[in-house]
């Protein structure tokens, strides 16, 4: 594992936070600072919910993440200070009540903490320092991951915190934020012709779950946090939408087993909104591709809406159509074939495979309607198969193009 200068600085900074908290606990003990400890712990809990609500603060994800990290520090230190202030206030009142009238107050006696109290204080406050670093990593999201993907702290936080806590926070944060979902004006939509929805066989569902990955990156030029879904289409190759990685520096892929892996773009097509990421260490699941009889059998989409946990959701496939549209940058007219679907297409759903009842991929979700939040679009296999068939042959790194401003 290679460590960049940024990674070393990040890890040393987080280590310094933990050591400073441990030093405070060692020199001041636990018994005399129980209220400060409780206040700091309360600050961590409050920070979890407050920073998750900061999504709409700014369309610039980098700015929002920096503010959220600062809020974590302020809330934890503020909680510790408030707890200490409460203790001092109570001591003052108790001392004043114990003095006879007409006599000056004597200072409250202070006894040096014994070794056990010092050790307990160091361990307790080091734990708070560790929780603070974990909250900073959570609050900065994939910005921190993009800056230092090999950081031992970032990797440790991901491994130590229960997945449900991370996923819940991510979903709360991204539900309130504006996501990077390309919008497409829908044409006249045919009435649904689906009479049933698919229920995947357990073995097919398991195979699908291992083939679908979470994709995240940061477009530093626009300050835009990028999140989406990808499909493993060949050994070490992930197919996703171009707008999911537009303007990105490092691309991070999270595999089904929780590993954070660095990837690099080897194919980028802004006209058809497709991109291919090379990621070492990913095995290709045996996925078949077929879109025949899709309208009569229904489908589902599999991905990471709002960047949260892996989900599959049933959709109604309304029509197969072809239309002229523009590239992800709003120019370069191009004709595309797509499926119109009725279902939930949210930030993070981009790049999700459209899957038949037999577990076969029939398309790739890339947009949702300007007119209806429950109408989405998936690129047809016509556009996917040429890239999938040649996936292993794309080996040269390519540029990710300009970023798409969150203000657009």
Task: Establish how many alpha carbons lie within 13 A of residue 181's alpha carbon, considering only the half-sphere containing its beta carbon.
Answer: 31
Q: What is the pLDDT of residues 80-134, one digit of tens each?
A: 999 988 877 766 666 655 555 545 444 444 444 488 899 999 999 999 999 999 9
Domain segments of the chain: what residues? 5-95+114-175, 182-393
pLDDT tens column, 248-262: 878 999 988 888 889
pLDDT per residue over 348-386, tens digit each?
889 999 998 888 999 999 988 777 777 889 999 999 999
Residue pair 56/176 in contact (Cβ under 8 Å)? The answer is yes
Q: What's the confidence (pLDDT) of residue 72?
A: 95
pLDDT in tens, 257-312: 888 889 999 999 999 999 999 999 888 777 889 888 777 667 889 999 888 888 88
In tens, the pLDDT along 10-31 reads: 899 999 999 999 999 999 888 8
What pLDDT is attached to residue 105? 46
The class of domain 182-393 in CATH terms is mainly beta
pLDDT at 32 over 80: yes
Question: What contacts 333, CB < 8 A, 6 or more positions away?
Answer: 324, 325, 326
Q: In the 3-class helix/strand/coil scheme, how is the chain assigned residue by residue?
A: CCCCHHHHHHHHHHHHHHHHHHHHHHHHCCHHHHHHHHHHHHHHHHHHHHHHCCHHHCCCHHHHHHHHHHHHHHHHHHHHHHHHHHHHHHHHHHHHHCCCCCCCCCCCCCCCCCHHHHHHHHHHHHHHHHHHHHHHHHHHHHHHHHHCCCCHHHHHHHHHCCHHHHHHHHHHHHHCCCCCCEEECCCCCCCCCCCCCCCCCHHHHHHHHHHEEEEEEEECCCCEEEEEEEEEEECCEEEECHHHHCCCCCEEEECCCCCEEEEEEEEEECCCCEEEEECCCCCCCCCCECCCCHHHHCEEEEECHHHCCCEEEEEEEEEEEEEEECCCCCCCCEEEEEEEEECCCCCCCCCCEEEECCCCEEEEEEEEECCCCCEEEEEEHHHHHHHHHCHHHCCCCCCCCCCCCCCC
User: Residue 157's pLDDT band (boundaries 50, 70, 90)?
Assistant: confident
Q: Look at residue 266 in the predicted model and tell me its pLDDT.
A: 96
């Amino acid at each position: 594992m290679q460590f960049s200068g940024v990674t070393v600085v990040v890890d040393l900074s987080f280590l310094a936070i933990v050591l400073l908290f441990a030093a405070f606990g060692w020199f001041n003990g636990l018994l005399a600072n129980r209220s400060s400890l409780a206040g700091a712990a309360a600050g961590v809990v409050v920070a979890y919910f407050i920073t998750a609500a900061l999504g709409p603060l700014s369309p610039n994800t980098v700015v929002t993440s920096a503010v959220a990290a600062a809020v974590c520090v302020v809330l934890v230190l503020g909680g510790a200070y408030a707890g200490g202030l409460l203790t001092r206030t109570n001591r003052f009142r108790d001392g004043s009540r114990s003095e006879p009238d007409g006599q000056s107050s004597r200072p409250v006696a202070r006894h040096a903490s014994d070794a056990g109290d010092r050790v307990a204080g160091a361990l307790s406050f080091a734990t708070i320092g560790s929780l603070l670093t974990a909250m900073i990593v959570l609050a900065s999201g994939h910005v921190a991951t993009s800056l230092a993907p090999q950081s031992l702290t970032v990797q440790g936080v991901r491994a130590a915190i229960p997945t449900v806590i991370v996923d819940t926070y991510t979903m709360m944060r991204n539900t309130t934020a504006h996501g990077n979902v390309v919008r497409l004006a829908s044409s006249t939509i045919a009435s649904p012709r689906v009479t049933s929805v698919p229920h995947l066989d357990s073995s097919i569902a398991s195979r699908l779950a291992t083939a679908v990955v979470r994709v995240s990156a940061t477009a530093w030029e626009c300050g835009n946090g990028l999140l989406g879904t990808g499909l493993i289409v060949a050994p070490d190759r992930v197919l996703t939408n171009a707008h999911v990685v537009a303007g990105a520096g490092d691309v991070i892929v999270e595999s089904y087993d929780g590993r954070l892996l660095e990837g690099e773009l080897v194919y980028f097509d802004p006209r058809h909104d497709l991109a291919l990421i090379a990621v070492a260490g990913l095995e290709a699941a045996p996925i078949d591709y077929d879109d025949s009889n899709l309208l009569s059998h229904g489908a589902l989409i599999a991905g990471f809406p709002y960047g949260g946990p892996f989900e599959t959701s049933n959709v109604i496939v309304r029509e197969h159509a072809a239309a002229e549209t523009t590239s992800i940058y709003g120019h370069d007219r191009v004709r595309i074939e797509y499926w119109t679907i009725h279902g939930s297409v949210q930030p993070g759903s981009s790049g999700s495979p459209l899957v038949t009842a037999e577990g076969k991929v029939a398309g790739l979700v890339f947009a949702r309607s300007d007119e209806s939040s429950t109408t989405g679009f998936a690129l047809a296999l016509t556009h996917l198969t040429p890239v999938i068939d040649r996936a292993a042959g794309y080996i040269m790194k390519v540029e990710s193009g300009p970023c798409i401003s969150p203000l657009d």
